[in-house]
Amino acid sequence: MMNTYKKGGNTAIIKKSNLSLIVRLVREMGMVSRTDLAKITGLSKGGLTPIIQELINNGIIRETGVMDSDAGRKPIMLEICSHAAYVIAVDLNRSSAQIALVDFSNKVRSSYEYKYAGNESTQEIIRRIKSMIRFFIEENHECSIAAIGVSSPGPLDCQEGIILNPPRFHGWKNIPIKQLLEEEFGIPTILDKDANAYAMAEKIMGLGKKYKNFIHVTHSEGIGAGVVIDRMLYRGVRGFGTELGHLVVDYRGSKCDCGNIGCLEQYASMTAIIEWIESRIQHEVDEADAPIKMIYERRGRIEWEDVLDGLDKNSPICLKAVENAAVFLGYGLINMLNIFAPEAVIIGGRGISAGKYLVKPLKKMMAESTFYKDFYLPDILVSDLKDGALIGIANTAFEHIIDKSTEQLFKPKM
C-alpha cells in the first residue's frame, strides 16, 4: 500500500514539476525548439512530447514559425501564448499607485495611475486601489486573471504579504495587503519590494538579460537595490535583504525614518536632494539660482522637475546638491561592489533623469575606488526599461503561479 501511494505521489509531483519547468523555459527563452528543450532539461523525446502536447492543448504554449538549423532541417519552434493568463500588477510608490494588466509574455496591456491627493487616509488609498483592481477585472472579463502582484517600498514581509512600516509611506504600518486583496477578489496575491521588481524586470526583459550576476539600483524618492545572483533574486530572510538605502554612510549623521543614523537615503535620494536645496535656497545669492528661489518662495516647496530645470540652467545650488548626492551614492555602491562583485550595476528610477550630473560621477568613483579595480570592473549601465516595477512584479506573480499551482493556468479552459 505504502509503496503504491509513494509511487503515485512522486509521478504526480514529477509531472507537475516538468510542466512548470517547460512553461518557465519557454517564457524565458521567447522561442525555443523541442530539441533545445530536450537538451536543456535532459528529458527524453518520449518524456517531453506529452508535456508539450498538454500545454498546447491548454493554450499555454503554441507552435510557431520555423528556424534554419545547421543540419538543414527546419524545426517548428514553440512560444508562449501571451493570452494564456494575465496578472493585475500594482506598483505602490510614495506619490502614486500604478495599476496595469500584464499578459503572460510580460507585456503591459493597459495601465492607470492614481496620484495621491496627499491627505487621504490609509483606508481611503486601499479603497481606491481595490476599486481600480475591480475596474480592471470587469473591463477585461474575457481575460483569465491568474494573480495579483503588488510591489511596494520595504520593509515588507514578503512571505505573509504584509507591508510593515516603509519610511515616509503615508504612515502605513502592518497592512496585510495580500489578505485584504485575496479576501476581496479571491485571486492569489503576491507582494514584493519595488527594488526587487525592478531587478526582476531587468533580468527578464532589460539590460540584465545577459548577466548572471548583477545589481539593479533604484534611485528615486528612496534608494533601493535588487541583487541577482546566478540569475536568481537574492532576498534574504523574509525578503528583508539588500536595503541599499539603509546602508550607514555616516554613523554620526542625521536620523533616518527607519530609526537608524546616517542611512544613505538621507543623503542621496531625490528627497534628500530636494531637502538639501530647500534648507539652503533662501541664503543663495547667485543669479542662476534666482528661478528656483522664486519657485520656493511662491510655492513653499521644490519638486524634482524644478531641480532638473535648475540643472539645465546651471543653477549652482542644484549642481552642488546633485554632486553631493552622487558622492554618497557612489560610496554606497562601492560597498555593494566590494561585497557582491557583480558583472554589472544597472541604475534606474526617476532620479536618473538627472543624467550626466548623477551617473557620470558615480561611474568615476566606482572605477577609482572599488577594492578589485586593478583587476576587474563591472559594467555600469543606465536602465532604459519602461514600467519596470509593473513588469517585474507581474513576472514574480506568474512564476509563483507556475511553481505552486500550474492548474491555476489550466483552470479557466478546462
CA nearest neighbour of 61 among 27, 37, 33: 27
Site for Zn ion in 234-273 (CB under 5 A): 246, 256, 258, 260, 263
82 is a contact residue toward Zn ion (CB under 5 A): no
The residue among 140 and 260 lying less far from Zn ion, judged by its C-beta, is: 260
Q: How far is the CB of 41 from Zn ion (least distance, A)?
A: 44
Q: How far is the CB of 248 from Zn ion (least distance, A)?
A: 8
3-state secondary structure of 243: coil
Please compute, for residue 191, the number of CA atoms within 13 A of its CA located in the half-sphere on the CB side. 25
Site for Zn ion in 87-146 (CB under 5 A): none
The residue among 189 and 266 lying less far from Zn ion, judged by its C-beta, is: 266
Phi, psi at 119, each rounded to 5°? -120, 10
Q: How far is the CB of 258 from Zn ion (least distance, A)?
A: 3
Q: How far is the CB of 379 from Zn ion (least distance, A)?
A: 29
Site for Zn ion in 372-401 (CB under 5 A): none
3-state secondary structure of 396: helix
Q: How far is the CB of 244 from Zn ion (least distance, A)?
A: 11
Residues contacting 131, CB < 8 A, separation 6+: none
The residue among 260 and 369 lying less far from Zn ion, judged by its C-beta, is: 260
Phi, psi at 86, each rounded to 5°? -130, 155
The residue among 245 and 378 lying less far from Zn ion, judged by its C-beta, is: 245
The residue among 193 and 246 lying less far from Zn ion, judged by its C-beta, is: 246
Sheet of 145-152: strand order equals 108-115, 96-103, 86-92, 145-152, 189-193
Cβ pair 338, 370 in contact under 8 A: yes
Convert residues 194-233 into a mask of x (bound to Zn ion by CB under 5 A) and - (unbound). ----------------------------------------
The cell numbers describing 125, all together, are: 488609498
Cβ pair 131, 410 in contact under 8 A: no
Site for Zn ion in 312-331 (CB under 5 A): none
The residue among 256 and 344 lying less far from Zn ion, judged by its C-beta, is: 256
Q: How far is the CB of 352 from Zn ion (least distance, A)?
A: 22
Cα(112)–Cα(132) distance, rounded to whole angstroms?
8
The residue among 258 and 352 lying less far from Zn ion, judged by its C-beta, is: 258
Count the residues of the shown chain that bind Zn ion, applying the rule CB under 5 A: 5
Cβ pair 156, 164 in contact under 8 A: yes
* Number of residues that this document lists for the chain: 414
Q: How far is the CB of 339 from Zn ion (least distance, A)?
A: 18
The residue among 258 and 327 lying less far from Zn ion, judged by its C-beta, is: 258
The residue among 36 and 250 lying less far from Zn ion, judged by its C-beta, is: 250
Q: What is the dihedral of CA 80, 210, 352, 109, to 10 degrees?
A: 0
Cβ pair 119, 161 in contact under 8 A: no
The cell numbers describing 320, all together, are: 552642488
Task: Work out the burial of residue 93: count CB atoms within 10 Å of its CB; fewer than 13 is exposed, 13-18 middle, 19 or more buried.
Answer: buried
Q: How far is the CB of 197 from Zn ion (least distance, A)?
A: 20
Cα(345)–Cα(76) distance, rounded to whole angstroms?
37
Q: How far is the CB of 265 from Zn ion (least distance, A)?
A: 6
Q: Which residues bind Zn ion (CB under 5 A)?
A: 246, 256, 258, 260, 263
